[in-house]
Amino acid sequence: LEGNDFLKMKQYGKAIEKYSEALEIEQNAILLSNRALAHYHLQKFEEALYDAQQAIIKDSTYIKAYARRFDALMKLDRVVDALQSVVELKNNVELSSKIEEASVVLKKKFGPVDELIEFINSTPTTRIEVACDKDLLNRVKAFYQAKNILISFQDDKPLVKVLWIVWDRIGYEKANWK
C-alpha cells in the first residue's frame, strides 16, 4: 500500500511512514504536503507546519501546501502568521493566474455567493454565529449551491404543502433539517 491509501484509510501513522520512505527517494511538494496532512490528523501541528513549509519551498505554486500551512498555523493559535500566509499567497505572482482561474470557477459555481458571505461577515449577529461555528460558511455555500434544486420544486404545490405541515407540526429543531 502507498501513503495515499493509508491516508484514505485514516491510518495516519502508516501514511507518514510511507511518505517518509518516498521522500528519501525524491523530495517533492506533493509528498511533503500529504505528509503534512497526515501529521495534522494526528494533531502533530508543528510537524504539519514544517512539512507544509518545505512543500512550499519545493513548489511555490502548490496551493494545497499553503492551505495545510494555514490550517497548522491556526491549530497552533498563530492567527497572525496564518493571516500573513494568506497575504503571501495572494501576492505570489506565479499563483496569480491560478487564483484568478479559481475565482472565475467559483463565481460560476456560486454566483453572487460572495455578496452573501460579505453580508454575513458584516452583520454582528451572523458574524458571531460564524465565529462559533467554523464550518458554517461552507454550509451556507452548499445551501446556496443547492438553492437551484429547491427552486425547481417551488411549483410542486403538494410537496411544498407537506413540507410546511411537517415544519409546523414538529418544529424546525425536531425536523433536524440539515
Q: Report residue 129 as a C-alpha cell.
A: 454565529
Distance CA 110, CA 120 (A): 15
C-alpha to C-alpha distances, 139 to 29, 95, 134, 157, nearest whole angstrom: 30, 27, 10, 27
Q: For the chain, how many residues are written?
A: 178
Distance CA 55, CA 40 (A): 14
Burial grade of 16 (CB within 10 A; 0-12, 13-18, 19 or more): buried
* Domain ranges for the chain: 3-104, 113-175
- Identify which has the larger pLDDT, 178 or 41: 41
pLDDT, position 40: 96
pLDDT at 156 over 90: no
For residue 31, what pLDDT is reported? 97
118-152 per-position pLDDT tens digit: 666 666 766 777 677 767 777 776 666 665 556 65
- Sorting pLDDT into bands at 50, 70 and 90, what band is 93? low
Q: Which amino acid would we find at residue 47? A: E
State pTM to two decimals: 0.55
Superfamily per CATH, domain 3-104: Tetratricopeptide repeat domain (1.25.40.10)
Q: Which residues contact 58 (CB under 8 A, 6 or more apart)?
A: 27, 28, 29, 32
pLDDT at 42: 97
